[in-house]
Structure 1
């Protein structure tokens, strides 16, 4: 299997069917791991309609701990060479995943991010999210020297074995800065590719809050100061001198 797509869902009844169809319709050898994070609407019923589709796995969680918790659970079931996260809304276009996997294969890359900033035609998010994202990107570049343009992008494609070696800890939205921090600490090059973006607002179901931004800042500092575990040191040794 080339690609594992982890899709954590929480109360996405209005978009779940469409985004699942869009991912399954990609011309790629992939598996889709859907994690229902304790949805209280009809998301679970919608997901169940896809249960008989090939290359799809459905994981039901009773309680919504957070996006990161769903990703950690989904990662246990991945078999693909690469893993990417797909949100359950329609902000991100799965067609961009095809170009990301092509770049990963061409460059033998460990990590490829989809950047909304690199695409001038991409929809601009609301100002507080735009500037919050820019601030987090600046801080990540300052602390870890990763040289990226979009720290908070959902589209982070990472080689599955490396993602597992990270021993992820973040259970909520701070998953993103944890991944960026650990890639940076391991001196792993992050490739970027322009992607499209169609932002939604709170009325349309956007769930991130300003407190998540504060948590992201704390997470970046935490993993800058935290000693590397033996597992992460091993990954660093494997990639030192060859920032793929």
Structure 2
């Protein structure tokens, strides 16, 4: 199900550390220890207080055991989900429990370089609110990964009006206030820079290093690109029509009425000029039925998105369910997740 970006609130006090690094992981047991071995020294070198939050998205390998081992360092905090619910939900859980003034999400597969975090923070110090990483020299297969990504980035930039070269790069840096007040669903995490820019945030992009994956398998594919495009349509719709849906419904209704009038005029023309009775030509009925079906499908889809938003927020439900938490003061919240 494609869900949407919607107002919400964080569950922890902010400002107790300077930087929170969020790392969603799924079946990355071979990458946990090497990643921590490179990440912790890089963060120590910043001269700022920090925390690292791993969100284990229902891994079925030894990821949870590896996370428990590295959590012997109290600066590493771990959230284990009961089941796999996706990267966006994992990111949202990390944001909910982060304490940093700056939030830096990154991948857990060692393809992002922890040394680039210093550069992202330096850009924030220049006055930017969001700094987005750009994998200018991608180390992925061109045909199945890089080319679809370039096409998707171009499409997203064109539709949103926010020009970025690499929306899919997880490595970014946000001032905390840019992430507060919203909930993320579907594949919406990659669109946060768009929404922040629409809200007036100062946004920039910075080239970052990208390394080949050494362990495990990529979780990305062409199917995910299609989901991203559909989510972009939802973001665009909600931003423009969230408080005035009558505009899009009204425009569609007027279009339907206009086509109906044209079909009626053509039917009258056939009757008067060619002497063809209304009941003898199926064209007006077929055109009308096709248009009505198409319009109704689109409208029902958009209406369903709004209804899903109302349902989730009114029920206080979450798309993730936490099993255990390590190095957190608060106990795991009551399980209020949505069941399949």
Question: SS of the residue aligned with 1:47?
Answer: helix
Q: Give the conservation status (yes or no) of the 8 Å contact 2:135–2:207.
A: yes
Question: SS of the residue aligned with 2:54?
Answer: strand
CA deviations 1:30-56 (Å, max 9, x no partner) are: 210111111111111111112221322
User: Unmatched 5+ residue regions in structure 1?
Assistant: 231-244
Alpha carbons of 1:211 and 1:168: their partners in 2 closer, same or farther (altered >3 Å)?
A: same
Q: Please show how residues 184-203 of structure 1 align to structure 2 within 5 Å.
A: 184-200=197-213
Question: SS of the residue aligned with 2:30?
Answer: coil
Separation of aligned partners in 2, 1:108 and 1:184:
14
Question: SS of the residue aligned with 1:114?
Answer: strand
Alpha carbons of 1:177 and 1:60: their partners in 2 closer, same or farther (altered >3 Å)?
A: closer
Deviation, 1:124, is 5.0
Q: Give the conservation status (yes or no) of the 8 Å contact 2:112–2:209.
A: yes
Q: Tell me which residue corresponds to 1:123.
A: 139
Is 1:7 aligned to 2:26, yes or no? no
CA deviations 1:138-179 (Å, max 9, x no partner) are: 122212222211111111211122112232223xxx234431
Match of 2:129 among 97, 110, 114: 110
Q: Tell me which residue corresponds to 2:276.
A: none
Is 1:61 aligned to 2:61, yes or no? no
Q: Tell me which residue corresponds to 1:97.
A: 117
Larger relative helix fraction: 2
Is 1:137 aligned to 2:153, yes or no? yes
Q: Tell me which residue corresponds to 1:146.
A: 162
Separation of aligned partners in 2, 1:177 and 1:68:
8
* Structure whose alpha-carbon radius of gyration is higher: 2
Separation of aligned partners in 1, 2:163 and 2:130:
13
TM-score (norm 1): 0.83
Alignment coverage as a number of residue pairs: 222
Q: Give the conservation status (yes or no) of the 8 Å contact 2:178–2:201.
A: no
Separation of aligned partners in 2, 1:227 and 1:193:
26
Question: SS of the residue aligned with 2:219?
Answer: coil
Q: Give the conservation status (yes or no) of the 8 Å contact 2:139–2:211.
A: yes
Q: Give the conservation status (yes or no) of the 8 Å contact 1:8–1:67.
A: yes
Question: SS of the residue aligned with 1:164?
Answer: coil
Question: SS of the residue aligned with 2:231?
Answer: helix
Separation of aligned partners in 1, 2:190 and 2:113:
22
Separation of aligned partners in 1, 2:202 and 2:141:
27
Match of 2:237 among 214, 225, 232: 225
Separation of aligned partners in 2, 1:100 and 1:66:
25
Alpha carbons of 1:187 and 1:138: their partners in 2 closer, same or farther (altered >3 Å)?
A: farther
Separation of aligned partners in 1, 2:205 and 2:117:
12
Question: SS of the residue aligned with 2:179?
Answer: helix
After superposition, the CA RMSD in angstroms is: 2.0
Separation of aligned partners in 2, 1:110 and 1:81:
11
Q: Please show how residues 175-214 of structure 1 align to structure 2 within 5 Å.
A: 175-200=188-213, 204-214=216-226
Q: Give the conservation status (yes or no) of the 8 Å contact 1:114–1:193.
A: yes
Q: Tell me which residue corresponds to 1:235.
A: none
Is 1:44 aligned to 2:64, yes or no? yes
User: Unmatched 5+ residue regions in structure 2?
Assistant: 1-16, 244-340
